[in-house]
A = this chain, B = another copy of it.
């Protein structure tokens, strides 16, 4: 195979995945910035040392963050390309061989200011090892604070279309996986209304790369129309307090269950990039329950059981 360790080089597919993720980062940042007039994404380039050979480069990333916007209170769009020795404890945890690895990926999180606009998260990654094993993983999911069902249907139908172009069974399979993954066990409720989740897509990686690109291209179409539609809905202190409380659930999921986050913390990745996913302003109140039949109660109801959002 290729020698990953000495050069940080990778397979041609790995190079193409990296180039695609970096282009997608620019496109997403531009799409989000088009809603703001005075706030822009900052750029932080960072480098890491190899996990086993700390004197050698282990790659790095580009973290782009927009904070304090009039539409987006906090948005992060991150790419990274890392390589080198995979510590044995991690290989064990990931259930892969502890050989040299190469990984490239993009992740994004958008926490809007308005409680009427949902939070969105997405992540795509390509991973390969010196022994030839390689796979794609990723997904995207929506977390509303108020239950606008037509928005949820829109999000899912755009994703379904992107899936259908690549495989007729993809949407149902990855929608189900998403519902199972983004579940807050201790609250017995979902983090949000789902989307897609997939991992270890091995085999025909070229085809999976097409699929990942289809979902990547669909992201802005799935999300931005919802932003445009809801950003001018009125809201006040009550809605903002509810958003803060629900954001607490997001924190609970990310710090307790999310694999990417806990993996990042354990491997001492770049902490500020890993935790950029946490919402800007969050509240925890003791034993708060929304009034019966309120819009807030209806949101909670939506999160109790997975639903089908498109035929």
Q: Show the binding face of A for B, using Cβ within 8 Å.
A: 44, 65, 67, 74, 76, 185-187, 244, 248, 251-252, 255-256, 262, 265, 268, 271-272, 274-276, 278-287
List B contacts of A276 (CB < 8 A).
Answer: 286
Find the B residue at minimum CB distance from A75. Answer: B286
In the complex with contacts A186-B265, A256-B265, A275-B284 CB distance below 8 A: yes
CA distance A256 to B65 in the complex (A): 24
Contact among B185, B248, B271, B286 for A186, CB-based, below 8 A? B271
Listed residue (A44, A262, A271, A285) with the most chain B CB atoms within 10 angstroms of its CB: A285
CA distance A278 to B252 in the complex (A): 10
List B contacts of A185 (CB < 8 A).
Answer: 265
Q: A67-B286, A275-B284, A282-B284 are in contact. List 5 more A-B contacts (CB 8 A).
A: A67-B285, A186-B274, A251-B251, A272-B286, A280-B283
CB-based contact A271/B67 at 8 Å: no
CB-based contact A286/B65 at 8 Å: yes
CB-based contact A281/B283 at 8 Å: yes
List B contacts of A275 (CB < 8 A).
Answer: 252, 284
List B contacts of A268 (CB < 8 A).
Answer: 186
CA distance A176 to B187 in the complex (A): 35
Find the B residue at minimum CB distance from A269. Answer: B186
Contact among B44, B251, B280, B287 for A272, CB-based, below 8 A? B287
List B contacts of A44 (CB < 8 A).
Answer: 287
Find the B residue at minimum CB distance from A279. Answer: B284
CA distance A219 to B144 in the complex (A): 43
Find the B residue at minimum CB distance from A267. Answer: B186
Find the B residue at minimum CB distance from A253. Answer: B255
List B contacts of A278 (CB < 8 A).
Answer: 248, 284
A303 → B minimal CB distance (Å): 15
Find the B residue at minimum CB distance from A248. Answer: B278
A216 → B minimal CB distance (Å): 23
List B contacts of A274 (CB < 8 A).
Answer: 186
CA distance A44 to B252 in the complex (A): 23
CA distance A187 to B255 in the complex (A): 14
CB-based contact B284/A280 at 8 Å: yes
Find the B residue at minimum CB distance from A68. Answer: B285
CB-based contact A271/B187 at 8 Å: yes
CA distance A76 to B287 in the complex (A): 12
CB-based contact A280/B285 at 8 Å: yes
CB-based contact B76/A286 at 8 Å: yes
List B contacts of A271 (CB < 8 A).
Answer: 186-187
List B contacts of A272 (CB < 8 A).
Answer: 286-287
List B contacts of A65 (CB < 8 A).
Answer: 286-287
List B contacts of A283 (CB < 8 A).
Answer: 280-282
Find the B residue at minimum CB distance from A66. Answer: B286
